[in-house]
Copies of this chain bind each other. A is one copy, B any other.
Amino acid sequence: MILVADSGSSKCDWVLINNHGEWVDKIKTEGLNPLLLSKKNISNTIDKVQHLLNKKHDSTIDKIYFYGAGCGSSGSGNLIKDLLYTTFNQAKYIRVEEDIIAAVHATTQEPGVICILGTGANCCYFDGRRVIQKTPALGYLLADEGSGNYFGREVIKSYYLKKLPLDLEESFEKEFGADLNLLLQKLHNVDSPNKYLASFATFIFKHRQHPFIENMLHQGIAKFIDSYLLNYKEELLDSPIHFVGSIAYYAQDVIKKSLDERGFIVKSFIKKPVGHLVNNIINKNIL
């Protein structure tokens, strides 16, 4: 059997396919970003997956395709690969790639610019054969403009720096409380601060009707376009844009409008790539 994993920074979707290309099972775990988590933490999650699948299925998993945030460098990718080989010790072939590759395979077979706007942010160009990444994913400590952790941070900052209009201030307190110490302690102690920050981004989609929030959303998307997308100016002259990730999915009207104003064409929005990824893998024999 073949195991395909698509791991963002927050969540990881695992799909089990049999050798005829049929879906056999699907499970969900925490994300496994090797830049943010300890080896022990990642290893525990992989063990959990193995245990769950082993309990339900007799056949051996002999191939694993793992696509993950933070797996862009050979060092971090190899860490995941080693841990997968250790746990799935009957696997004959394991491949680990950055999540942007999953986003490409999930969205298109044609040339295009493919963006991720989920917990984190990323962008690349696919020429129909190869993936070309002009700028790397920098993660929540450096960049991620327009991502879930970016918008979460903006919401928190606006509240504590007293920029929120009164009605939104009340909504924030009702939803998240007003205890900054508690927030800072959590932020500095959770395993994935980026995921914790991104949990505050739900606020903007709950309050989209508010002009302050609408403006925040437009500004964040504009920053993503300027920081990442415009590095592919030439490629965009004759390639469409595809988006993957929940922030892109829920903000698709803003993204469409912003890109339309700049003369670019958006072709698709996919909230979660794993289903499309697996289908494309099966139908088009990508693996």
A residues near B (Cβ < 8 Å) are 35-36, 73, 75-76, 134-136, 138-139, 141-143, 153, 156-157, 160-162, 180-181, 184-185, 187-188, 193, 197, 227-228, 231
Contact = CB atoms under 8 A, between A and B. Distances in A.
A142 B156 contact: yes
A188 B138 contact: no
Given A75-B181, A181-B75, A142 B187 contact: yes
A114 to B, nearest CB: 17
Given A35-B185, A75-B185, A138-B180, 19 more contacts: A35-B184, A35-B188, A36-B188, A73-B180, A73-B181, A73-B184, A75-B181, A136-B160, A136-B180, A138-B184, A141-B187, A141-B197, A142-B153, A142-B157, A142-B187, A143-B161, A157-B227, A161-B228, A161-B231
How many copies the complex holds: the figure is 2
Contacts of A36: 188
10 residue pairs, one from A and one from B, having the closest CB atoms: A73-B181, A135-B161, A143-B157, A161-B227, A35-B188, A141-B187, A136-B180, A142-B157, A35-B184, A135-B162
A138 B162 contact: no
Contacts of A184: 35, 73, 138-139
A148 to B, nearest CB: 15
A157 B135 CA distance: 10
A187 B36 CA distance: 10
A87 to B, nearest CB: 23
Nearest to A152: B142
Nearest to A228: B161
A180 B74 CA distance: 12
A269 to B, nearest CB: 24
B138 A160 contact: yes
A95 to B, nearest CB: 19
19 contacts: A35-B185, A35-B188, A73-B180, A73-B184, A76-B181, A134-B162, A135-B161, A135-B162, A136-B160, A138-B157, A138-B180, A141-B141, A141-B187, A141-B197, A142-B153, A142-B160, A161-B227, A161-B231, A162-B231
Contacts of A142: 153, 156-157, 160, 187
A193 B188 CA distance: 11
A168 to B, nearest CB: 16
A76 B73 CA distance: 37
